[in-house]
Structure 1
């Protein structure tokens, strides 16, 4: 008898089958049809994922490779490919539109052949990449074969049980599983492994298949009413039973022992982890584990076969809905696990071999799931399920770094498929679930979450009780906005509107074309309660006039002498102040102006930021930090050998207790720092460049968390002058950045603060859309 491309003649007759109980011989009678001819594939297989196949093939132990070559003439890679295709075949059929009447299916080397009752449904099925044939699926004729029922906590281990008359019997463990309602461990076996159903079952110590020694270790008793043979009318009966794992010391594992690939000890080669459970497919490879013949493999030749186990005159005979395979099975293998790849499909039920296995040996397996007829699913009605070993899910989107504002979370589950589902819990409270696709991919919609850092935990589930380890992580959920106008004056107005939407009691005016006198203005403006607006040295832009009218300040403060903001401008500004008060804060140079601003706004302060007046980069970042911490910024000649006496006196009058120096020794010398230490402790905040220094200043100034962050251009000053006020109002860090990206460490710091909103200060000419997307710098 052969399989594959030969079309078998339809015959009717008696099929002698021996059930696996040691010493028992029962006849099986079945009416069977022809075996399928090799299908001519019109649609070739899609390529099985090479990475998955290669990975799983590499995981096949050498002993199992030898068994595959011995029994199937297959390499490990070919076996994995065929196993994946068998599982995919079931998934493809299950995904057909509702109403398609599938009579059967077969896996060939080139295609999945689906047998239909309605010829009108052929185009629909073929559109799904399947081969459609009309009519009942042909079936092999086993009427001349004699099957012996295999008498017989990992699947495949042998166990002993007492008979009704005091004799002893041996079967094999099928699949460890659980009672779905309680989670109590129970293993599936063959229903005819019954004997004394009140008697204790004991796992036998096996040296090799059929070779046992003491001790036998008690494991538990059969679940009442769970051992069933036959029944189910004319649709093919059951051969299933459950044993409760009630003795202490046992741990059920979703694994099947492999007996060294055949004739070794149960664990002399790595066990197969059971990754899924589904229906069997004709043409798929099958391997089984049992206490008598160990690990053997073959090919499935028929499914949903209504077989009579026992002779016509045998009162104990019963019908079994069987999976039939060309495989070696002997007495004592009964109940053992049968798999296609890593997918559980059935438990050993019967065999046509009694004295030994031959080229014509056939095994019969009671299915876990079936498209028709009896199965463990139809018998237990969801009260029991196999334990499935589930990999920890992988998350591909979002990445573990950077920000994420998408609406869909994606990932993969190795060995996963439609019978698995994903559960994602966000921030420990909101859970979303999703099915897994045939290729192991999954996606869930992201709920509406507050901005900031979102923590997640992802688990995969099979059935009700099999659950993977959790994959945990987080992403940064952040929105971005931009405050900008057509020029620096209009941008400062936009920032003012954001910071003071309802007006302000004071406005600080600075020259928008020159930075020195304005660098100390930001912290002072926050302390005084108003924005910084920019003007020209001799004129007030119309957009600024409009903003002054909206703010309706009581008074106005001008920073810098008449050389930077003219007397005519100051006079005109009086008309915008309700008190007609304009105060000018200026000095002989930028340093004196800085001291004047600081002393005016901060008669007392505990902290101060010292920055060079020769450049603007470090002082801009210091200004935002000072605005956050109610600390003035004081400019000094950074390359001097010591701090000037006027600055020393100012700091003493203000009763400063902590000094922060912005920038490295190239901008504020070591001599200046040493002399400042005579006033108060000094901490230098510096990095390798202006961007790293900005980060160092923000790390010191803003700790814990911040809902907002500001980003401004680091190679010019105007937008940052006004922006430091918004930083103080919002309690936000303000970072300086280049035009096209954001330094990675800055992004990491924003994330560590759980920033939920990032506001760009300035137009796209200074901060591009890539900065808005928080693209990391190379």
Structure 2
């Protein structure tokens, strides 16, 4: 996850002195839910969680932690866990929005109510679609503290220390690229990046800072040596290896007995990492003040710490000198490590006022100024992963198998691997709510099979394996699909001919032609089925129709080839056959969608003064003069022709033909003829000889008025190979 949720465009300048903090181990897994940010589309929406759903996890929290939550946040532990889960979902949903191109300036949470601040009106609809309140612009950040005092009393701290330096707190355990253990902390804990040895600061309760506090400190076992520390350029990043084999780093954070007790008493498991979000509940662990809780107030805020620029987030959780580098959690997700706090804050939490005092932290993930981004492949958070729960297959199944289940507390950054009968594992994604679904390729042989399912986070964190077995049954026999009507090559004048056949009772029958679908039907108990197309099939051209039967995991297909729908024959509706008309006659008729219409006009052969035959688009014909006029044809094939000049008196024959470009002539070609007489025509030559208009060309030629070939509405169609006089 690399999407910052609250971008503070201005830079509040803050100065101060840094303090230190500590991380311990052993914890409880709390179920959370996160939204998926894969793909470049938004697939998740914001979620709210009922506190009562988290009651079982809340009951398992250490009593001191319960006390800290109730004391500092004024809510129940179940509400705290529910709000933290909602904040985690919010962070991932906003990441998806930004990946999809939505410009989110800031995210603010109140309890579980989310407000998104977007850059422009064009972003509003997408933000509303995920279930948020939406504002255009930036939130008010005028209340951000303008000064930070770094917790740098002795430059070292609780949790770990160096004899040559100060004391600081461990942040989060993790892995180097080679899988060796490393721990993250604050970069200012070794601002000179000296090659030092690091030891446990061995205490049995928080050690508040004291101006008169002098060494020797209670030094414990060595933890590691060296490391990489960076303080400045908006970073406060620290990382050093755990080299003493006596230590076993674990993905947990000490809860200091739930507040200010022994660091070995109580812990919270780390199950993920999350981008800080304004309003999210948060708790931090540190050597000076123990375990303290609050809310995030500002994120991605640039400040000055002892005149050194650092970008991070503010919280209302109490901290003091000696807590630096300590871990921040929201629910069970890692959020950041402590850098410093407000000027004038008390050295313990007795006089801490969240309306006045703030702690400042460096983020684990979510922006370019974070531990994840700074260290890249050199660092990977260690997380505790619950053993997957497999819900299917269970007992018995068919040969086609999909593994479904959940991983408590996991999210979109996790994955699962499924191995059957000890074979090669098949990898699958984990959804934002911790669920997974992994389909195996191919069918399994009948009989008993075993499985192993394990969950992973990154390259090194993994769960215990969930193991089990189930029985694969023989695939049930499925009745074969058959199509009885229509048959190959059949034709019909009905654009929606009924398809009939037999198949497996209860199966679904679907009809398609090319990419177009024409409806479904169900096979009856007697094994018979019938399906009438939901739209007109293609007219005038041969095509193949595909009938598909689907029953459970079985799919069968049958193709009826070379079907044909006879196109309606062309007609001449005006002038009527045998009628007498005036010379300004208009010609009208019908055909079919997509047809090309040809027209030929000629006088009767025995006329003494017969004029040249007239035609339009008379390709391939001789002795036909162009017939000027306006031709129109609509989507249904209705056509009209208005000649440019009136016809002279006389007897005429008009011939109309219809064809289809790319069609089957047996299905689409037709011809119609009408005779008519022109009397009292107003036109003619100046000498009144009754000739047809001079077209500028000589000789008699066939005239064909070509209509525009239109696409058939409705797409593909069904037919049957046969001649036009064959019926369905």
Shared fold, TM over 0.5: yes
Q: Do the aligned residues in 2 keep the contact of 1:140 with 1:301 (CA within 8 Å)?
A: no
Mapped contact 1:158–1:291 kept (Cα < 8 A): yes
Alignment partner, residue 303 of structure 2: 307
1:221 aligns with 2:216: no
Of the three residues 389, 402, 406, the one matched with 1:412 is 406
Identify the residue that residue 118 of structure 1 maps to in structure 2. 120
1:398 equivalenced with 2:399 (yes/no) = no
Match of residue 432, structure 2, among 413, 434, 438: 438
- 1:65 is aligned to 66
In the other structure, the counterpart of 1:426 is: 420
**Which structure dedicates a bigger proportion of its chain to helix?**
1
**How far 1:273 sits from its partner (Å)?**
0.5
Query: Could you tell me whether the CA contact under 8 Å between 2:173 and 2:381 is conserved in 1?
Result: yes
Pairing of 1:45-124 with structure 2 (within 5 A): 46-48=47-49, 52-96=53-97, 98-124=100-126
Give me the whole-angstrom Cα distance separating, in 2, the residues matched to 1:214 and 1:50: 42
RMSD across aligned positions (CA): 3.0
Match of 2:271 in 1: 275
Q: 1:473 Cα shift?
A: 1.5
| C-alpha distance in structure 2 between counterparts of 1:133 and 1:449, whole Å | 52
1:266 matched residue in structure 2:
263
Match of 1:16 in 2: 15
Q: 1:118 to 1:13 in 2, by over 3 A?
A: closer
CA distance in 1, matches of 2:272, 2:153: 26
| CA–CA separation in structure 2 for the residues paired with 1:10 and 1:409 | 47
Shift of the alpha carbon at 1:74? 1.4
CA separation of 1:94 and 1:407: change in aligned 2, threshold 3 A: farther
Partner of 1:184: 180
Q: Which residue of 2 aligns with 1:386?
A: 381
Structure 1: give runs of 5+ residues left out of the alignment.
1-8, 23-43, 232-236, 311-316, 485-762, 765-771, 774-778
2:459 maps to 1:457: no
Measured after TM superposition, the shift of residue 456 of structure 1 is 1.7
- What displacement does 1:356 show? 4.0
2:327 aligned residue: 337
Which residue number in structure 2 is paired with residue 578 of structure 1? none
Q: Alpha-carbon deviations, 1:134-172, whole Å to 9, x = none?
A: 1123324334544333568xxx96111144xxxx41100
User: What per-residue deviation string (whole Å, max 9, x for no partner) do you get for residues 476-526 of structure 1?
Assistant: 222234599xxxxxxxxxxxxxxxxxxxxxxxxxxxxxxxxxxxxxxxxxx
Give the distance between the partners of 1:50 and 1:68, measured in 2 at CA: 14
CA contact (8 A) 2:285 2:326 kept: yes
Post-superposition Cα deviations, 1:444-489, rounded to whole Å, max 9, x if no partner, equal 11221431333221111111111111111222222234599xxxxx
2:286 is aligned to: 290
Match for residue 175 of structure 1?
172
Equivalence for 1:252? 249
**Among candidates 337, 355, 362, match of residue 347 of structure 1:** 337
CA distance in 1, matches of 2:401, 2:95: 29
1:91 positional shift: 2.0
Q: CA deviation at 1:126?
A: 0.8
CA contact (8 A) 2:399 2:475 kept: no
Q: The residue matched to 2:204 in structure 1 has which SS?
A: strand
C-alpha spacing 1:79/1:143, structure 2 compared with 1 (3 Å): closer
Q: Is the partner of 1:377 in helix, strand or coil?
A: helix
Mapped contact 1:158–1:173 kept (Cα < 8 A): yes
One of 118, 123, 134 as aligned partner of 2:136: 134
Q: CA deviation at 1:221?
A: 1.1
Pairing 1:135-214 to 2, within 5 Å after superposition? 135-149=137-151, 158-163=159-164, 168-179=165-176, 181-194=177-190, 197-210=194-207, 214=218
1:319 corresponds in structure 2 to 309
CA 1:157–1:429 in structure 2 vs 1: closer, same or farther (change >3 Å)? farther
- Cα pair 2:187 2:230 within 8 Å, conserved: yes
For residue 365 of structure 1, what is the aligned residue in structure 2? 361
C-alpha contact (below 8 Å) 1:222/1:241 kept by paired residues: no
3-state secondary structure, aligned to 1:63: helix
Structure-2 separation of matches of 1:13 and 1:386? 30
Change (3 A) 1:482 1:288: closer
Distance 1:122 1:254 in 2: 39
**1:716 alignment counterpart:** none
The residue matched to 2:380 in structure 1 has which SS? strand
Q: Could you tell me how far 1:51 is from its partner in structure 2? A: 7.1
Call closer, same or farther: CA 1:128–1:318 in 2, change over 3 Å. Answer: same
2:442 alignment counterpart: 448
Shift of 1:266: 0.4
Shift in Å, 1:240: 1.1
Q: Render the CA deviation track for 1:19-46: whole Å, top value 9, x for unaligned.
A: 1269xxxxxxxxxxxxxxxxxxxxx974
Where 2:410 maps in the other structure, the secondary structure is coil
DSSP 3-state at the match of 1:479:
coil
Q: Distance between the aligned counterparts of 2:10 and 2:189, measured in 1? A: 32
Residues 592-617 of structure 1: CA deviation (Å, up to 9, x unaligned): xxxxxxxxxxxxxxxxxxxxxxxxxx
Larger relative contact order (CA 8 Å, sep ≥ 6): 2
Offset, 1:75: 0.8
Confirm or deny: 8 A CA contact 2:172 2:251 kept in the other structure: yes
Shift of residue 188, structure 1, vs aligned partner: 0.3
1:509 is aligned to: none
SS of the equivalent of 1:382 reads: helix
TM-score, with normalisation over the residues of structure 1? Answer: 0.53
Instruction: Please say if residues 148 and 330 of structure 1, whose CA atoms lie closer than 8 Å, have aligned partners that are also in contact.
Output: no
- Is 2:248 the partner of 1:240? no
Q: What pairs up with 1:22-37 in 2 under 5 angstroms?
A: none
The answer (yes or no) to whether the contact 2:20–2:325 under 8 Å persists in 1 is no
Contact kept? 1:398, 1:404, Cα under 8 Å: no
Equivalences for residues 752-771 of structure 1 within 5 A: none
1:197 and 1:52 map into 2 onto residues whose CA distance is 49
Q: TM-score, normalised by structure 2?
A: 0.56
Question: Comparing both structures, which one devotes a greater share of its residues to strand?
Answer: 2
Matches within 5 A, 1:605-644: none
- 8 Å CA contact 1:411–1:442 kept in 2: the answer is yes
Once residues 150 and 55 of structure 1 are traced to their aligned partners in structure 2, the CA distance between those partners, rounded to angstroms, is 40
Superposed CA offset, 1:518-555 (max 9, x none): xxxxxxxxxxxxxxxxxxxxxxxxxxxxxxxxxxxxxx
Matches of 2:12 and 2:132 in 1, distance apart? 33
Check whether the contact 2:235–2:370 (CA below 8 A) recurs between aligned residues.
yes
By how many angstroms is 1:215 displaced?
A: 4.7
CA deviation string 1:246-281 (max 9, x = no partner): 01211000011111122111022x200111112111
**Match of 2:599?**
none
Task: Provide, for residues 680-702 of structure 1, a one-character-per-residue CA deviation record: whole Å limited to 9, x for no partner.
Answer: xxxxxxxxxxxxxxxxxxxxxxx
How far the C-alpha of 1:425 sits from its partner, in A, is: 1.8
How far apart are the structure 2 equivalents of 1:483 and 1:420?
Answer: 39
